[in-house]
Structure 1
Amino acid sequence: MIYIVLSVLFNAVLFVILKLFSRFNINTLQALVVNYFTAFVIGLVLYDQSFNLSEIVQKPWYPGSFMLGFLFISVFYVTAVTSQRNGLSVASVASKMSVIIPISFGVWLFGEELGIAKILGVILALIAVYFTAKKEEGAVTDSKNLIFPILVFFGAGAIDTSLKVLQNDYLPTEEISLFSSHTFLMAFTIGVFLIGIAIIKNKMKITGKSILGGIVLGIPNYFSLYFLIKMLDSEVFESSTIFTIHNVAIVMVSTLVGIVFFKEKISFRNGIGIALALTAIFLVTS
């Protein structure tokens, strides 16, 4: 249970840092790329065993790590586009409702059982995510923009599902730090390529505050992934239960952080969402 708490807390810290980026006019893409490099370095420092770079390619989890690195930065970019074109609430709901994807794969691939209480809990969790995360009015007004929240939904679900499959079948516990580090390195490599194109086209200039922001972001980002994998590795709960608790808790904590630190107002709808979230967590863990 401690890994769930730690993962949620580090995700809440990510929320605070990303919220501050706009206040200090930090370029999100630049900070994101630096953040991945920072997380990569942290993973190497914390990995207490010797390794050979050429041997990493032979690891059974290497292809999955490469794919995840691509998904990390791609999904983040699409989430940013969704926030701009469809609204922040649409991006948040699409991301967190993707929990239904790893839950479905958990039942299909790992034979996890869904009793009446757990099914009801999952349904309430999805409703809770919508009510808690939706803080602004409006909907998708242009049908062609529907593709972006759809991509966020499937992309976020693919990340969680891939992490569970890799943890369950390919990733030894003692290599979690190395795996996390390499995954962030892949995301960093792809990000450098994107920034390089923008610089060549004279559409971007590197700024010192974006680099500093990326370093600050990279620390909690590494640990959010590390404890998520440790959470899945602990097997205290089935993955369907863990992902439900994890996603609902992140939405709740992020909402509370927004209220306490950023003076965001909680609506009656948000209050209903929090109450439903607590009920959902009780049902899926009972």
Structure 2
Amino acid sequence: MIYLLLSVLSSTIIFVVFRLYKKYGVNTLQAIIVNYFIACTVGFFGYIEGSDFTGVPNESWFPGALMLGFLFIAVFNLAAITTQKSGLSVVAVATKMSVAIPVLCGIFLYNESTGALKITGIILALAAVYLTSVKTREGISIKSKNLIFPLLVFLGSGIIDTSLKFLETSYVAENDIGLFSSTIFATAGLIGMVILITQGFMGRLRLSIKNLIGGIALGIPNYYSIYFLVLALRSEGFDSSTIFTMNHVSIVAISTLVGILLFKEKLLLKNWIGLGLAILSIILVANSAI
């Protein structure tokens, strides 16, 4: 359970960093790309001992790590497009509701436990995610021509979580977790560099030191959010559907509280209801595993 808590705390720090990007005018794409290289470096120098880096392409998990690295940068760009076309609330809902994908895969593909408490908790969790993510009284509105973008964000985010579960269960040895995580970030960073180089040739690239600092601030908690999540998935006594539900909903609840305390966010009634449902869902899902 400690690994799950550490993953949630790391993800909450990511939320704070993203909020500060807006305040200080940080270029999110540049910071994200720097963040991938920082996260990769944290793994290489902090959690990998005696590994032969030249043998990474021969690892059984290497193709999966490449796929995840591609999905990381692809989902980010899709989220940016969705924000521009449909608003931030749509992205928040699509990203957080994607927890349904790994939860359902855990139950149906891995025959993980179900029960009244757990199913109720999962349903409340999905309701909580929606209610806390929508910050306007009108709810969310998506034009039919733009529906494909949040749908791809939803699928991409869900596939990332599901793939992490599959790879860590089937291919990643315990002493390879750091190397596996770093390879994912390195792949995403290299793809991001191609994007920046392309922007440079097109004359659209404007580099800034604050984007570098923003990437460093994001990269460290980003690495730990994945590293500790993989360790949490290996925890005894908790199946993946429980871990993913508690992880996503805890991030929603704590990030909402941090938004109130640090950024003086004003919540609507439905946001408060969502926060209450989030806490209740965590209690139900946790108790279902006991």
Same fold (TM over 0.5): yes
Q: Describe the shift of the 1:153–1:60 C-alpha distance in structure 2 as closer, same or farther (beyond 3 A).
A: same
The answer to whether the 8 A contact 2:48-2:179 is kept is: no
Which amino acid is 2:129 matched to?
V
CA distance in structure 1 between the partners assigned to 2:102 and 2:271 by the alignment: 25
Task: Give the whole-Å Cα distance in 1 for the aligned partners of 2:69 and 2:243.
Answer: 23
Which residue matches 2:172?
171
Shift of 1:141: 4.3
Name the residue aligned to 1:87. 87
What is aligned with 2:108? 108
Amino acid at match of 2:35: N
Task: Tell me which amino acid in the other structure corresponds to 1:180.
Answer: S
Q: Contact 2:134–2:140 (CA<8 Å) still a contact in 1? A: no
Aligned to 2:32: 32
Q: For 1:207-258, what per-residue CA distance to the aligned partner results, in whole angstroms no more than 9, with x for missing partners?
A: 1111111111111111111111111111331111111111011111111111
Aligned partners of 2:96 and 2:248 also within 8 Å: yes
1:268 partner amino acid: L
Q: Structure 1 residues 54 and 48 mapped into 2: Cα distance closer, same or farther (>3 Å)?
A: closer
* Paired position in structure 1 for 2:237: 236
- Aligned match of 2:18: 18
Displacement, 1:85? Answer: 1.6
- Structure 1 residue 203 corresponds to structure 2 residue 207: no
Matched ranges for 1:252-271 at <5 A: 252-271=253-272
Name the residue aligned to 2:215. 214
Deviates further, 41-50 or 7-16 = 41-50
Q: Equivalents in 1 of 2:53, 2:203: separation in Å? A: 35
What is the SS of the residue equivalent to 1:234? coil
Q: Distance in 2 between matches of 1:148 and 1:113?
A: 33
For 1:57, the equivalent position in structure 2 comes to 57
Cα distance, 1:277 vs. partner?
1.2
TM-score when normalising by structure 2: 0.95
**Structure 1, unaligned stretches of length 5 or more?**
none
Aligned 8 A contact 2:98 2:158 in 1 = yes
Q: Which residue matches 1:187?
A: 188
* 8 Å Cα contact 1:31/1:210 also seen in 2: yes
Aligned residues: 286
* Aligned residues of 1:173 and 1:233 also touching (Cα < 8 A): no
C-alpha distance in structure 2 between counterparts of 1:201 and 1:60, whole Å:
38
Equivalent residue letter for 2:87: G
Which segment drifts farther, 77-86 or 138-147?
138-147
Kindly indicate whether the alpha-carbon contact (under 8 Å) linking 2:89 and 2:140 is maintained by their aligned counterparts in 1: no
TM (norm. structure 1) is 0.97
1:47 and 1:16 map into 2 onto residues whose CA distance is: 25
Counterpart residue number, 2:3: 3
DSSP 3-state at the match of 2:219: helix
Kindly state the Cα deviation for residue 96 of structure 1 after the two structures are TM-superposed: 0.8
Range that drifts further, 229-238 or 252-261: 229-238
Q: How far apart, in 2, do the equivalents of 1:197 and 1:120 lie?
A: 48
After the TM superposition, which parts of structure 1 deviate over 4 Å for at least 4 consecutive aligned residues? none
Structure 2: how far apart are the matches of 1:142 and 1:267?
Answer: 24
